[in-house]
Amino acid sequence: MSEYHLESSVPRKRQSFSTNFSQQQTGQYFNGTSNILSALDTNIPTASSMKRKRLSLLPKNVNIGAPRLLNQPSAQKRQSSFGLSQHAPSVQDLVQRSITRTGIPAPASVNRRRSLAQHQLPPSSNGRLFENSVVNTPGANYMTPTQPRDPRPLRDRNFQLKMQQELYAFLSTNKFDIEMKHPLTNKTLKNPTQKDFVLMFQWLYKKIDPGYKFLRSIEQEVYSLLKFLEYPYLDTINKSQISAVGGSNWHIFLGMLYWMRQLVGESLDLDSVELDNFQEAQNLPQNNSFLYDDSINDSVVMKEQDLVDKLFTKYALKSYKSYMSTGGSNFDQYFKEMEKEYHGFLKEVTQRLHSIEEENNELNMKVESLSTQEEKMRANHEKSRLLELDVSRYQAFIDAQMQKKLKWPTTIMKIEKDIETIKEKLAKSEEAKSQILSNLGSKNFTVQTIEMMHRERAQLAKDIDSVVDKSNSVQKTVNEKFMSLRKAYEGLEKLIDSYNSYMYNLLHLITFKELPQITITGFTEEVINDDSKLGRKPDEIIPQLKELNIRTSLTVLKYDLVEAHRKNQDTLIKLHEQLDNQQQELTAKEYAIHDLESELASFQAIDKDTKEQLEYELSTKDAEVEADQSTIRNLQKRMLADRKAVEARHFKAKAELDKFKSDLKYQYFSFFHRIGDCMNQTLNFKNDITASLESMNTKIVNEYQEHIELSKLKYV
């Protein structure tokens, strides 16, 4: 059942939680928070091998016996189901990764322990529990020939005294004598017995792994556990020396115990981690949480994110400490504490959100009131600007008039000179006029007589113009008559041509009887020169004509022509009657056209008067429309300016409102995405621990099997 639970139940829980969390609507985070917390499976599944005292920290090659509880294929199956490679992380690595993911820094003691672990302590203090780990540490290759010797001055008396004092102080402070029921003195560390060494070693190791039981001989236990802890100077120790630690070899084992004391001290520092003493997470550049964004500068949001991280980290550390101390996998108590603190924190955030909304509403009201005041101030400012513009224009006009005023004296002098010149010319004109009048008087001409002659001349010019107009009209009438007669002549000519063509067509249509044809090729000289035949008939001159009877044929032809002519005359009379009817119709239509033309002339006169009236009204309306358009343009300009100002204020207020909303929404979403990230990290942490424990149990079983086989071979 435990194998099935580890292989199927935990991944299904994790998949279900991630699916549900990704499908939740963002606006439902408040209502769904309790469901998200309840979806966490805080009971880390344990195999049946974990019900015993923990032997989970042993490497693969340590020969420690343990019953075969889990087979290798199932462990491989569990590793594949959790997506683990053969380089599985340790429990300490999982805790450290969880702290790094959540953005909570380690305290100074933990950083110091990490530094010591990388330089002085074995790599196991940094969380490396597997010998095939991918982490390349100085202690990972301690079996190679190139492993350096112990650089510590272990043979130095002062250094030994320092190690003894620190080790004695640590053992006495942590009540070694009470727990192990063995006395502890300064002599114990200067010249210890084998039992003193064994008890100190067991006590120190149990501080690292409280559930471990020592079942084998001390030589195998010490060597295998030091190898497991990756003691960097293991090549200075052999199993024969472990059976007798006193004497000349004590400085080596004293250095080993001192190293274990440092390792235990650094492990205890992890238990004393206080979250309240951590620095603010946003100040750390190594923060790997995707919720920490450099664009977030709101201290309130960052503080809330830190509180959520601390809630989860408290839960993780308490669960880890409980697991390391008791080996149990029930963390419901810590989860309930985290859930209780979370709900309290959520309630506080909700109250703060309501207060922020109220403050936002008050600020919006202030913005509206300030906008109204700003509109009034803008209107006053516009009025003052227009007044200043008018003042500047009037000042420019006054300056221009002052410039013109300076030019007026010169202009007046010039005008006075022109007036004097004109007066002189006028006097000369008067003299010339009087002289002309005197000349006319000498010739018996008066002004009245000249004016009368001018009037007669004007009257004669008018009469001449009227006669010319009449002659032009008569000439125009003659031309029109000539053109009409010419058209009539051309029409008559066309009619005669059509008549002739028609008659020729009739002649072609008449058929005559065939007449005998006589071909006269020529006349003889006798016929031509014989005067006796002059005045004779043709048949007497040409005897062949008597046989043809030409006269009868001509009479018949004449009769046929007369009949055809009579028929054509009848047809012509009918055509003339049709022509007369058409002429009468044409005359009636001409009268109708004349009436229509007279009506058209009257209508044109009315149309002209109407058009003139309409043009006058249209010009009046155009002037009114132009005035209205000018007014409308001014109003549109003013309205456009007012509209732009209103839109600018509206956009500004809207931008500020959108900014407030986006900031609030971003804080809202960031908070709940952060909650989801914490939940996912919790699940990842739990699953990683489960996979690591299963992998360690598999290794322990393999070690136990090898140990049994070696024992069988040994006894055989």
- As a dihedral over the C-alpha atoms of residue 202, residue 207, residue 209, residue 215, rounded to 10 degrees, the angle is 20
Highest mean pLDDT among 124-133, 268-277, 422-431: 422-431
What's residue 7's pLDDT? 32
CA distance readout (Å), 678 to 289, 313, 341, 492: 10, 9, 14, 120
- As a dihedral over the C-alpha atoms of residue 695, residue 701, residue 702, residue 704, rounded to 10 degrees, the angle is 150
Which residue has 């006029």 as its token pair? 433
Higher pLDDT, 271 or 241: 241
- 51-59 mean pLDDT: 36
What's residue 548's pLDDT? 66
What's residue 162's pLDDT? 92
Taking the C-alpha atoms of residue 638 and residue 594, their distance in angstroms, rounded to an integer, is: 62
Structure confidence by residue, pLDDT tens digits, 548-588: 666 777 788 788 888 888 888 888 898 888 888 888 888 88
* 363 half-sphere exposure, CB direction, 13 A CA radius: 11
- 132-158 mean pLDDT: 57
Categorize the per-residue pLDDT at 8 as very low, low, confident or very high, splitting at 50, 70 and 90: very low
What's residue 579's pLDDT? 87
Highest mean pLDDT among 44-53, 107-116, 366-375: 366-375
What's residue 510's pLDDT? 61
What's the whole-model pTM score?
A: 0.31
pLDDT at residue 259 tops 90: yes
Which residue has 């006495």 as its token pair? 172
What's residue 544's pLDDT? 67
Taking the C-alpha atoms of residue 539 and residue 545, their distance in angstroms, rounded to an integer, is: 5
Taking the C-alpha atoms of residue 652 and residue 664, their distance in angstroms, rounded to an integer, is: 18
- 593-618 mean pLDDT: 85
- 309-331 mean pLDDT: 76
Structure confidence by residue, pLDDT tens digits, 351-360: 888 889 898 9
Query: How many Cβ atoms sit within 10 Å of the Cβ of residue 384?
Result: 10
What's residue 522's pLDDT? 59
* Nearest residue to 298 (alpha-carbon basis) of 31, 660, 619: 660
Query: How many Cβ atoms sit within 10 Å of the Cβ of residue 287?
Result: 18
Higher pLDDT, 366 or 101: 366
Amino acid at 109: S
By mean pLDDT, which of 81-85, 484-488, 644-648 is the weakest? 81-85
Highest mean pLDDT among 15-24, 554-563, 637-646: 637-646
3-state SS, residue 8: helix
Residues 6+ apart with CB under 8 A from 205: 212, 225, 260
Judge residue 231's burial from the number of C-beta atoms within 10 Å of its C-beta, 0-12 exposed, 13-18 middle, 19 or more buried. Answer: buried
- 400-417 mean pLDDT: 84
What's residue 675's pLDDT? 86
Report which DSSP code applies to 211: T
Structure confidence by residue, pLDDT tens digits, 420-465: 889 888 888 888 888 887 887 787 777 787 888 888 888 888 888 8
Structure confidence by residue, pLDDT tens digits, 519-547: 555 566 666 666 776 767 776 777 666 66
What's residue 96's pLDDT? 47
Taking the C-alpha atoms of residue 281 and residue 331, their distance in angstroms, rounded to an integer, is: 26
Taking the C-alpha atoms of residue 538 and residue 13, their distance in angstroms, rounded to an integer, is: 150
Categorize the per-residue pLDDT at 79 as very low, low, confident or very high, splitting at 50, 70 and 90: very low
List the chain domain ranges: 2-326+669-715
- 500-510 mean pLDDT: 75
What's residue 83's pLDDT? 37
What's residue 275's pLDDT? 52
pLDDT at residue 280 tops 90: no
What's residue 383's pLDDT? 85
pLDDT at residue 658 tops 70: yes
Higher pLDDT, 534 or 490: 490
What's residue 258's pLDDT? 93
3-state SS, residue 120: coil
Judge residue 139's burial from the number of C-beta atoms within 10 Å of its C-beta, 0-12 exposed, 13-18 middle, 19 or more buried. Answer: buried
Mean pLDDT of the chain: 72
pLDDT at residue 106 tops 90: no
Higher pLDDT, 99 or 646: 646
Judge residue 434's burial from the number of C-beta atoms within 10 Å of its C-beta, 0-12 exposed, 13-18 middle, 19 or more buried. Answer: exposed
What's residue 472's pLDDT? 87
Taking the C-alpha atoms of residue 180 and residue 158, their distance in angstroms, rounded to an integer, is: 29
- 263-285 mean pLDDT: 60
Higher pLDDT, 301 or 62: 301
